[in-house]
Amino acid sequence: MGHTELTPSAPTSSAKYELDAPHLPPPHLRIFVNRNLRMDTVAAIGFDMDYTLARYKREQLERLAHRLTVEKLVKRGYPEEILKLGYDPSFVIRGLMVDKQLGNILKIDRHSHVGRVFHGRRPLNKDERRQVYRRERIAFVPPRFALVDTLFSLPEMCLYADLVDFFATRGDAGQVDTWKIFDDVRESIDEAHRDDTLKSVVKQDLAKYVERDPLMARTLHKLRSSGKKLFLLTNSAFDYTDHLMRYLLDGELPEYAHWSSYFEWVVVTAKKPAFFKDQEPFALLDPKGVPTGKAVTALERGKVYEGGNLKDFERMTGMIGEQVLYVGDHIFGDILRSKKASLWRTALVVEELEDEIRYSIEHAEDLQRLADLEVERRNLDELTSLQRQHLATIEKRLGAEEARGSAEFEALRLRRDQAKRQLKSVIAAIEALETKVDASFNSTWGFVFKESGENSRFAEQVKDHACIYTSRVSNFLGYSTHQYFRAPRDLLPHERDIMSTEDL
């Protein structure tokens, strides 16, 4: 390939590769790899807009979305007292799940084990969680369960929890229809996006709500200059897309007179995920965003289209399957659905990754201590199990009464009791340190990508469906346009154990 300045993004612990480390971007700006991806075979790169090319100032936008949703709920007949409910950005993270039937918000790991649960703002204790979610196998799927897989959903989660509490305090908690509350909140926030209530406010003060990435234009230019065709594929309508993209790109580089010049094709109101599975035709828009009514037989550079579908896009552009890399922020609408419907390669933008990586570096000592304690717990578990087995063997050989009077048995029993006390102490230390680490990152839910030492369900979806993932589009600027993004070797537990054995 000829480019040795960058190694695959997943860091390695092998000392022989340390020489490459200074040439990597800072950890929070790297691209991470789940599946090998050769950029020299990618002919076209598509981008979503919201939370992908356009990064929002999240707290400002989330507070706005929360307020507008409350106002719409009041118009639906909800009591005006809910107008006093405030937005708490620290309460919600991406990757949570709502149990609409019971009014709970929960976080689960990759094995569908329920970790933390809140009913409204009240945390459920271990016994309550076990009673509700561990008595029978539960499929965490719609319609009962709703996944919080996009940043746009965070305000509705906070509002939902507060509404569950609000109505529970007004009367018999058993009369609260938590399913209806969720559906009403979801419909109201969707309406705020759909009817331009929210976007009209954003357009009036883009500087307040939209973050400008100074490296975005250079990143797109670098990709175009390497011969790759770029396209925009967004669910946003033309007017809003035009406002945001002009704010983000116009005037950034002299080579581009207008934001659309960065792209070979522009598709708005794409209706993803339907774009990837339905057959809606493309509609050509005039410069003001009005459909021309002309039949679309080819997608032309410099034109803007709305609607459309995957099959027609590939047929009209000639960009097919693995020639296309699509970059988006929505695990379902952008990544999972495109993965199921096509051979397109996928890149997921996860903003929260920057904070998690920075935090992990700052608290590396605590995280290493946790890892060491987990190894110690496993070793003590194995030791006490062997000791218990050995004691049983002695009892079987000598008989229970005679065994308990033997020096061998008593010595082993004392060692077992000591190991059990040590194990109990280690478990307590793990729980205390986990609480400390999680609370200092997010006091309610901990890490986005982890749940009690396991990958969270969201992290597992990222691993399963995104070929690569990163925190922002401009991170591509730190890599060659012919980069070979190579995934780390996928190891099973027994392989990891063998490779970590010191005498090998």
Looking up tokens 């459920």 gives 124
The set of catalytic residues is 48, 50
Percent of the chain whose predicted confidence (pLDDT) is above 90:
77
Least Cα distance to 68 among 85, 55, 52 occurs for 85
Q: Are residues 194 and 250 in the same domain?
A: no
pLDDT tens digit sequence for 424-465? 999 999 999 988 888 888 889 999 999 988 899 999 999 999
- Does one domain contain both 313 and 385? no
pLDDT digits (tens, 9 = 90+) for 131-187: 999 988 999 999 999 998 889 999 999 999 999 999 988 865 557 899 999 999 999
**156 and 232 both lie in a single domain:** no
pTM score, whole prediction: 0.88
Domain of 180?
Answer: 57-206
Cβ atoms 447, 438 nearer than 8 A: yes
Categorize the per-residue pLDDT at 402 as very low, low, confident or very high, splitting at 50, 70 and 90: confident
Same structural domain for residues 248 and 322?
A: yes
Do 363 and 478 lie in a common domain? yes
Show the CA angle centred on residue 346, arms to residues 270 and 278, nearest 5°.
35
Identify whether residues 336 and 272 lie together within a single domain. yes
What CATH code is carried by the domain that includes residue 246?
3.40.50.1000
Q: What's the distance, Cα to Cα, between the start and end of the chain in Å?
A: 33
Rama region for 314: left / alpha / beta (φ>0; ψ in -120 to 50; rest): alpha
The first and second tokens of residue 35, run together, are 């599946």
Chosen domain end from 300, 318, 350: 350
Q: Is residue 497 part of a domain?
A: no
Cβ neighbours of residue 335 under 8 Å, at least 6 residues apart? 326, 328, 346, 348, 465, 466
pLDDT level of residue 397 (50, 70, 90 thresholds): confident
| Percent of the chain surpassing pLDDT 70 | 93
382 and 309 share one domain? no
Structural domain count, the chain: 3
* Torsion 233-235-236-237 (CA) sign: positive
What is the pLDDT, as a whole number, of residue 501?
60
The mean pLDDT of 322-331, rounded to a whole number, is: 94
Per-residue model confidence (pLDDT) at position 398: 83
Residues 297 and 395 in one domain: no
Of 321, 350, 379, which residue is a domain's last? 350
The residue written with tokens 């609607």 in the block is 307
DSSP class of 333? I
Average pLDDT over residues 283-291: 96
Q: Given a cut of 90, is residue 419 above it in pLDDT?
A: yes
Rounded Cα–Cα distance for residues 304 and 287 (Å): 8
Domain limit, last residue, from 206, 237, 255: 206
How far is it, in rounded angstroms, from Cα 339 to Cα 48? 15
Average pLDDT over residues 401-414: 84
Residue 105's SS3 state is: strand
Q: In the prediction, which pLDDT does 174 show?
A: 55
As a whole number, mean pLDDT of residues 388-414 equals 84
